[in-house]
Amino acid sequence: MPKNPKHPASDRLQIHPTAGAVFADRSMLEIVRRNPSSELELLVWNGSSFEIRSTVAYGGKRYAPGIPAHPSVSARLTLPTCAAPYASIKKLFTDMCERFRLHSAVSAEATQLLTYSAIASWFPESLVVAPCLSLASPAPVELVALLQLLSCFCRHAILLGEVSPLGLHELPWEVQMTLLIHHAGMSTKTQRFLNACTYRGVPVYRNGQLNDLFGFVAVAGTTHANFLENVIHIDIPPRCGGLPAVLDDKTQRQLVAEFQPKLLMYRLENFRSVAASQFDVPHFSSPTREIAHALGMGIIEKKLREDLVGLLEEQDQSTRAERSTDERAVVLEALLVLCHEHKESVYVGEVRDMANAILREREERGDLTYKDVGKQLKALRLFTKRLNRFGRGINLWENIRKRIHRLAFEYTVLSIEQGQECCPDAYIP
C-alpha cells in the first residue's frame, strides 16, 4: 500500500500533482473532497482498505491532489467525500433507478439505461469506446434536472452550457471527466470534436501537440444529438400536471453524499475484475454491440447484465432496420448479390439497378443514381475503372470479393444476417 515513510528523505521528494492513479500492486489513488469548501485530498486504496491523506509517497515519488484547471472548474467537479460500503450492486442499481424515477419524467426503461451509463462512467480505463447519452425534451427545465441528476451519480461529472472546441480542449481531461452538456445549438466543428473524444486513442491536434482526450459525454437539447456515433437516446416527456422537477442544491448534495462514496467503493473493489471482463453481445450489430460491451462490463451481477441485453434489443433492431435502407449498406448488398452470380466484373450501372431493386423490395424509394452509387463505392475504397466502351465498373477478383464480404459483415448487411454469406469468400472474424 502507498504510505508515507517515516524516513526524513521522503519529505524531500518532489511533489507530483495527480487526479488519480492505478498501480501494479492493486493500490489506487482517488481524489476526494470532504465538503464543498474543503481542499482536495487523496484517498489511498491498498486492495482492501483505504486512508485519506493530503500527500502520498509511493515508488520514489510524492503525490498530491491536483487538477490542472482554473479553480472554478475544480469547484464544479462532482467528487466523492470518501468511500463507503454498499449492500450489493443490485441494491445500489435499484436505489439509483428509484432516484431517477423520483426526480425525472423518464420511462422505467430509460431509468435503467441511465443507471447503467452512470455506473460505466466509473471505469473509463477499461473502455475503448465511451457510450454517449443523447437527452431530448421540449421542456428545457427537465433537461437541466436530468443532467443535474446524472452529475450526482457519474464519476467526476461536470455540467456545461454552450461549448466550443477551444473550451473543451482546455478542460482537465486527465481527471477522466463525465461531460454533461446542455446546448441550444452546437457548431459542426464542436460536434466532430465531441464525437472524437468518445474514442480512446484518437488524439486531437492543437498548438502543435497531439492530446488523447477521452471521456463519457451526455448531450441534452430539444432534439437528439445525432452526431454522436455510440449513443443511447433518452426522451424526456414534459410532466402532465404540476411543476417540472427541480433539483435544488440541498437535494443534489444529499444524493452526492449518499451515492458517490458507494460508487467509489464499487470501483475500488471491482476495478481489476471489470478490466478483465470479457462481456460481449456478439449477435448485436455495431454500434449497439460496443454500447452493450461498455455498459455491461462494469456490472458484475449476471442478472443485471441479462437485463441490459434485453433493454438494448429494441435499439439493435432499430439500427438494423436503418442499415437495411442505408445507401452504403444497400450498395454493398447489391455487390454481394452480384458476386454470388459469379461475375468476373460488374458495371456501376448494374450495381445501381440491383441496389434500387433491393430498396423497392423493402418498400423504399429506389431512386439511387449512377453518381450516388459511384460516391458510395469510392467511400468504401472500392475504386472503379473503365472496363470497356460500355462504361466503368469493378473487376471482381478474389481479393475484391473477399473485401466486399468483409465490408458487408462490418456494415451488418441484411443478407449476411440471413445466412447468405456461406461461400468461399465469406468473411469469418
The set of residues, in sequence order, having a beta carbon less than 8 Å from that of 317 and lying 6+ positions away, is none
On whether both 139 and 46 belong to a single domain, the answer is no
pLDDT tens-digit profile of 378-391?
989 899 999 998 89
Lowest mean pLDDT among 88-92, 143-147, 401-405, 424-428: 424-428
Co-location of 158 and 193 in the same domain: yes
* 385/306 same-domain check: no
Tell me whether residue 394 is in a domain: yes
Mean pLDDT of 366-378: 91
Q: Based on C-alpha coordinates, what's the Rg of the chain?
A: 25
Give 244's contacts (C-beta < 8 A, 6+ positions apart).
105, 139, 141, 142, 145, 238
Range 93-113 average pLDDT: 95
Residues 187 and 301 in one domain: yes
Region 276-300: mean pLDDT is 92
Give me the mean pLDDT over the 72-99 stretch.
96
Nearest 5°: phi and psi at 41?
-135, 170
Q: Which of 168, 335, 143 is nearest to 220 (CA)?
A: 143
- Residue 1, domain member (yes or no): no
Compute the 3-state secondary structure of the chain and give helix, strand, coil in percent, each to the nearest 5: 45, 15, 40
Residue 398's CATH number: 1.10.10.10
- 112: in domain: yes
- Say whether both 361 and 219 belong to one domain: no
Q: What is the mean pLDDT of the chain?
A: 89
Indicate if the pLDDT at residue 321 is higher than 80.
no
pLDDT by residue (tens digit) across 39-69? 999 999 999 999 999 999 988 899 999 998 9
Q: Let me know whether 291 and 351 are in one domain.
A: no
- Express as a percent the part of the chain with pLDDT over 90: 64
Coil, helix or strand for 99?
helix
Rounded Cα distance between 375 and 383, Å, is 10
The per-residue pLDDT for 205 is 78
Single residue among 35, 66, 97 that ends a domain in this structure: 66
Q: Tell whether omega for the bond before 282 is within 30 degrees of 0, i.e. cis.
A: no
156-214 confidence digits (pLDDT tens): 999 998 889 889 989 999 999 999 999 878 889 999 899 999 999 888 877 788 888 99
Confidence of residue 396 (pLDDT cuts 50, 70, 90): very high
Q: Which domain holds residue 26?
A: 8-66
- 266 plus 389 within the same structural domain: no
Which triple of cell numbers denotes residue 96?
A: 439509483
Whether 251 contacts 377, CB under 8 Å? no
| Count of CB atoms situated within 10 Å of the CB of 68 | 14
What are the Cα distances from residue 291, in Å, to 50, 58, 116, 200, 263? 32, 36, 11, 14, 21
| Residue 287 and residue 401 share a domain | no
Mean pLDDT of 6-15: 62
Q: Return the pLDDT at 352.
A: 95
Whether the predicted pLDDT of 242 surpasses 70: no
Place of cell 439511387: 368
Concatenate the DSSP letters of all residues of 93-153 into one string.
HHHHHHHHHHH----HHHHHHHHHHHHHTT-GGG-SB--EEEEE-S-HHHHHHHHHHHHHH
Coil vs helix vs strand at 216: strand
Note whether 114 and 257 are same-domain residues: yes
Q: What is the structure's pLDDT at 328?
A: 86
Task: Please report the pLDDT score of residue 240 as a whole number.
Answer: 64
What's the pLDDT at 314? 86
Residue 72 in any domain: the answer is: no
The predicted pLDDT at position 323 comes to: 67
Whether 209 is covered by a domain: the verdict is yes
Are residues 379 and 259 part of one domain? no
pLDDT at 7 over 50: no
Same-domain pairing of 347 and 285: no
Residue 185 counted as domain residue: yes
| Residue whose grid cell is 402532465 | 240
**What is the model's pLDDT at position 63?**
96
pLDDT at position 5 is 43
Number of domains forming the structure of the chain: 3
Strand partners, 43: 30, 52
322 compared with 195, residue with greater pLDDT: 195
Q: In this predicted structure, what is the pLDDT of residue 6?
A: 44
B/e letters for 181-197, b = 16+ CB within 10 Å, e = fewer, are bbbeebeeebbebbbeb
The three cell numbers locating residue 231: 449513443
Q: Which of 269, 288, 316 is the last residue of a domain?
A: 316
Residue 268's Cα: distance from chain center in Å? 21
The least confident of 14-18, 150-154, 300-304 is: 14-18
User: Among the three residues 316, 346, 373, which one is the final residue of a domain in this structure?
Assistant: 316
Chain CA centroid to CA 274, Å? 16
78 occurs within a structural domain: no
**Cβ–Cβ < 8 Å for 328, 411:** yes
Q: How many C-beta atoms surround the C-beta of residue 31 within 10 A? A: 20
**What pLDDT score does 424 carry?**
64
Name, in order, each residue with C-beta under 8 angstroms of 380's C-beta and a sequence gap of 6 or more: 328, 331, 332, 407
| pLDDT tops 90 at residue 257 | yes
Give the Cα separation of 16 and 4 in Å (integer): 14
Would residue 156 count as lying in a domain?
yes
Distance CA 148, CA 167 (A): 21
pLDDT-above-70 percentage for the chain: 91
The answer to whether residues 20 and 145 belong to one domain is: no
Residue 421: predicted pLDDT? 45
Whole-number Å distance between alpha carbons of 297 and 155: 16
